[in-house]
Amino acid sequence: MGVAPFACATLRRPALLLAGLLALVPRPAFAALDYPLSYETVDVQGLRILAGSVDSTAAARIQVEVVVAGGGLGGVAAALALCEEGRHVLLTEETDWLGGQASSQGVSALDENRWVDRGGATRLYREFRETIRRHYLPRATLPDSLRAAAAFNPGNCWVSRLAFEPAVAHEACSRLLEPYRRAGLLTLRLRHKVVAARREQARVTRLLLLDLDSQAALEVTPDLVIDATELGDLLPLCDVAYVSGRESRAMTGERDAADGESEPQCVQSFTYSFVLETGGGGCADGPEPPGYRRHLASQPFNTRMTRSMNGEAKQIEVFLFDKVEVWPGSLWEYRRLIEARQFDRRDYPGDLSLINWMGNDYHEGSIIDVSPREMLDQLQAARSLSLSYYHFIRTQMARPDGHLGYDEVCLRPDVMGTADGLSKYPYARESRRIVAMETLRQQDVEKPPVGIRLRGRHFVDAVAIGAYDIDLHAGPCHKSTLQVQTLPFQIPLGALIPVGTENLLPAAKNAGVTHITNGCTRVHSVQWAIGEAAGRLAAHCLERDISPEQVWLDPAEVLMLQARIVRGGAPIFWYGNLPSSDPRFAEAQLQPFRLAHGMHMAGLQLQSLTQSFNWASP
């Protein structure tokens, strides 16, 4: 892991001296990559291992202000923020879809907080959501009163306020980025992956990108690098200190951390999602998938759940189309992406529902810090599991009438944009994580068992907000299933600053969180907020000609950065009734950070998330 994590606050004063010394040292002329350069990497979408070598004459070369590696939600948000600031960006994505978990990973029922439309998300994230809604509204057969409603949900599901087809998230991201591409601020490279890097002293000086289709190489010289990859792929390539898996309680002080040693391979499960249709005309049964019998014996394919009701444990059988006693609706409606009755039947003959359940959570291995061959084997095994689960649903899932199987549901490969109907990339819940100057821990976000608090820990260097309960899915160690209630929380700037690296920032699940707090920060809106904050921070550093660490060490710089973030329409302090469109937004957002103690602003009546309150109170 390189640097011991979570003791990093003790580095703050020595780091201030070090940062001052570094600022006086002229930056050297950095050397090129060491050619010939060999690479071996996994093309996840193509399900193959690519290996080869590049010599000094084969690689094209460009220079750019910021490389954003990874076109998931955090990467798209970072690129948008940078382009809004007038910066030149190279955005890369290893699949052929932008949007990450909302598109190529198939999780297109957004996991959000209930305040997302009233101040609980950034302006850019709400634009992303509204771009998706605008795609569907012309196709919807709705009364005018509902057509204009901001709450229109194409799937009308009960777990998400907005569910949609994965390709629409890619289209929305592309539409938001297109003006900057036309203006020359953004260069977009889909199906490109960073396979090598050069680091000199504390700086990342060169990256080598590989076109996964042609295997052409591109050498990039960046001023700043943002790692928005799904697995934190740049951290080992760039020799950035990081952790993975489950930390020990001694490392984090978290109540639910590991009792003994840390467990790097104890990551959460990952999932290949797929979409089913009902009412679309039917389909034929395929053969039993390879490995089906093994998965049937080892995987929770059954839909029995134990729930506490009236103080007693009760076992509940969950059927596909019938309302579940303890749920607002049925399993089918849980992550339904399209409710056909809201549209013309010629466009959508039947409902579409996303299958991302415990049954296809793959927990037999990790794809982090393993060999390319091991990674590919685990990916193939996870795909086998999902196809087996589809076969189980059609042939053996229990029905309320005692019969088995729902042969009226059919796989829709076209919705995922793949031949077999599985997502292009697995939904990877967990990533490598930087060893950060400040780490967000369980005790910073969880709801206390007694007492009344409105929010999690207040960070004076907050750069983003989030709200979602901790939800951990068991991985290969079978120890990590955990659900913990949280309070609305903040993301500190220190969680974006890696120890010992001057010009690389995280913008995804690789920020300074723990295995446990990843369970509340990995969701769509929080990943977007982290990416957007990383983009604003990068723009601030370029404009001020300072490093991210120097910003973090200087309270005046932190406040200037916070003002920049807030001007962009991103909240950094929790209110329940203050959207970014409110003319008082910037003043109210910044005031808690400008004052040592909270006070009321004349004429400004703000609400907490549940009641009126002193707006700067903890």
pLDDT for res 34: 86
How far is residue 289's CA from residue 617's CA, in Å, rounded to a whole number? 57
Distance CA 41, CA 373 (A): 9
The DSSP result for 225-271, as a single string, is EEE--TT-THHHHTT--EE-SBPBHHHH--TTSBSSS-BTT-PPPEE
Cα gap 466→574, rounded to integer Å: 9
Q: Which two tokens stand for residue 457?
A: 């820990």
What DSSP state is assigned to residue 220? E
Residues recorded for the chain: 618
Confidence (pLDDT) at 309: 56
Whether residue 138 has a cis bond before it, omega within 30° of 0: no
DSSP 557-568: HHHHHHHHHHHT
Residues of the chain with pLDDT under 50: 1-28, 596-618
Mean pLDDT taken over the chain: 90
| pLDDT tens figures, 391-433 | 999 999 999 999 999 999 999 999 999 999 999 999 999 999 9
Give the rounded distance of the alpha carbon of 402 from its chain centre: 40
CATH architecture assignment, domain 8-22+37-247+430-567: 3-Layer(bba) Sandwich (3.50)
Q: Do 226 and 538 meet the contact criterion of CB atoms below 8 Å apart?
A: yes
Residue 283 CB: number of other CB atoms within 10 A?
A: 14
pLDDT of residue 569: 98
Asked if 140 and 153 count as a contact pair (C-beta separation under 8 A), the reply is: no
For 67-98, give one letter per residue: b (16+ CB within 10 A) or e.
bbbbbbbbbbbbbbbbbbbebbbbbbbbbbbb
Location of each CATH 3.50.50.60 domain in the chain: 8-22+37-247+430-567
Residue 611, C-beta contacts closer than 8 angstroms, at least 6 positions apart: none
- Could you tell me whether strands 89-93 and 186-190 are parallel, antiparallel, or unpaired per DSSP bridges? parallel
pLDDT in tens, 27-76: 445 566 888 999 999 999 999 999 999 998 889 999 999 999 999 999 99
Q: What's phi and psi for 343, nearest 5 deg?
A: -135, 170
* Consecutive H or E run containing 67: strand 60-69
Judge contact between 528 and 125, C-beta under 8 A.
Answer: yes
Helices (H) and strands (E) in the chain, counts: 17, 24
User: Buried b vs exposed e over 24-42: b needs ≥16 C-beta within 10 Å?
Assistant: eeeeeeeeebeeebebebb
10 Å Cβ neighbour count for 193?
Answer: 24
* Residues 531 and 99 sit within 8 Å (Cβ to Cβ): no
Give the whole-angstrom CA distance, residue 463 versus residue 595. Answer: 17
pLDDT at residue 13, as a whole number: 28
